[in-house]
Amino acid sequence: MSSTAPVSLTRFLIEEERAGHINAELRLLIEVVARACKTISIAVGKGALGGVLGDAGQGAAQINVQGEAQKKLDVLSNEILLEANAWGGHLAGLASEEMDHAQPIPDVYPRGNYLLLFDPLDGSSNIDVNISVGTIFSVLRCPEGVTRPDDSHFLQPGHAQVAAGYTVYGPSTMLVLTVGHGTHAFTLDREVGSFMLTARHLRIPEETKEFAVNMSNQRFWEPPMQAYVADLLAGKEGPRGKDFNMRWVASMVADVHRILTRGGIFSYPLDAKCAEKGGKLRLMYEANPMALLVEQAGGAASTGRERMLDVVPKHLHQRVPVFLGSKREVETAVRYHTEHD
């Protein structure tokens, strides 16, 4: 067998197991999640032809624990991931953006040693306008001796993740994954139905001229964020000495994928509208998995005042301010916050 044969996700994971980076149970869990994401990719790809657009509620909006009106694809993607993972035998429990509380694996199925958290459909506001959306997942170890995990068993800091990844449903469907030894990208070969390794060891450039933020919140930001962005917008003549470009997709997966591919800084800071909730983005199944992927690619991820992966979670759907991407730029944004406080 020539060693230049394209490497599938299955072969990659077997090689990671042989290298001692993962065990068979985690390998099989990642395969199950990837397979579920392929099913979601097919549903997303059908668009209006698949009856998957629009809101979930019949008439009255179906509101999730986040206070958001669920889209049909939020619900469908969540169901696909729950069904795929219920009987696999690799998990002790699951938690999702779309579920009020964590769920132990039903007693009828065998249990495993891992906890899976996911944002089944990230970027829901983009579903009906045909802009890239995604799925984000995070894997933790189930604490020793716990057979029926509840929310409290999921409240582990991000550095405890044993795997993290996302699938972005864009012009191509890509899976980006880390098991703690680099961040790697796979592209779905739709004819074969396999994710194929297309980039090993992604590296985020330490410097950047591209920032991603929802500028419409500018008047609600804290002073350090105001100062950071004002200096950045001053361009070459300003204190930063360079002109910046801006991108904002409003799908975290798409914005983070761009940053993992060519650098940049993504931020969703505290603002007066979301401050009492602690921020907009969720720590356990958005910020933490993305932070691990970014750090494994040589970038940085912070709340603006603390390394993201060190945050000790207080509740399952906790929200945090997010700054992540090119290491030097994140450090600059953090400096505006720490020097201001």
Name the binding residues. 97, 119, 121-125, 214, 280, 286
Q: Which residues contact 252 (CB under 8 A, 6 or more apart)?
A: 122, 123, 134, 136, 266, 268, 281, 286, 290
Encoded one letter per residue, x for contact with ligand AHG by CB under 6 A and - for no contact, window 14-53 reads ----------------------------------------
CB of 296 to ligand AHG, least distance (A): 20
In this structure, the strands spanning 133-141 and 114-122 are antiparallel
Secondary structure, 3-state, 79-121: HHHHHHHHCCCCEEEEEECCCCCCEECCCCCCCCCEEEEEEEE
Q: Which of 250, 261, 305, 307 binds ligand AHG (CB under 6 A)?
A: 250
CB atoms within 10 A of CB 107: 8
Q: Which does 251 bind (CB under 5 to 8 A by kind): Mn ion, ligand AHG, none?
A: ligand AHG
Q: Which of 23, 63, 110, 125 binds ligand AHG (CB under 6 A)?
A: 125
Looking at the DSSP bridge assignments, the partners of residue 170 are: none
Q: Are 116 and 92 in contact (CB under 8 A)?
A: no
Distances from the Cα of 265 to the Cα of 64, 208, 293, 302, angstroms: 29, 7, 14, 11
**Choices 84-92, 123-131, 189-197, 306-314 (CB under 5 A): range interacting with Mn ion:** 123-131
Q: How wide is the angle at C-alpha 148 spanned by C-alphas 17 and 154, nearest 5°? A: 65
Tokens for 205, please give them. Answer: 């450039």
Q: Which does 172 bind (CB under 5 to 8 A by kind): Mn ion, ligand AHG, none?
A: none
In this structure, the strands spanning 265-268 and 210-212 are parallel
> Contacts with ligand AHG in 268-287 (CB under 6 A)?
280
Q: Which of 78, 132, 178, 251 binds ligand AHG (CB under 6 A)?
A: 251
Q: Are 142 and 149 in contact (CB under 8 A)?
A: yes
According to DSSP, residue 214 is labeled -
Nearer to ligand AHG, 9 or 281 (CB): 281
Distances from the Cα of 100 to the Cα of 40, 63, 67, angstroms: 22, 11, 11
Q: Which does 16 bind (CB under 5 to 8 A by kind): Mn ion, ligand AHG, none?
A: none
Tokens for 231, please give them. Answer: 């200096």
Instruction: Detail the residues annotated as belonging to a binding site for substrate.
Output: 122-125, 214, 280
Q: Are 258 and 202 in contact (CB under 8 A)?
A: no
Instruction: Detail the residues annotated as belonging to a binding site for Mg(2+).
Output: 97, 119, 121-122, 286
Encoded one letter per residue, x for contact with ligand AHG by CB under 6 A and - for no contact, window 161-200 reads ----------------------------------------
> Contacts with Mn ion in 270-289 (CB under 5 A)?
286
Q: Which of 16, 55, 84, 122 binds Mn ion (CB under 5 A)?
A: 122
Nearer to ligand AHG, 55 or 119 (CB): 119
**Choices 24-32, 46-54, 62-70, 84-92 (CB under 5 A): range interacting with Mn ion:** 62-70
Residue 55 contacts ligand AHG per CB under 6 A? no
Footprint of Mn ion on this chain (CB under 5 A)?
Answer: 68, 97, 119, 121-122, 124, 286
**Binding-site ranges for ligand AHG (CB under 6 A):** 68, 97, 119, 122-125, 214, 250-252, 280
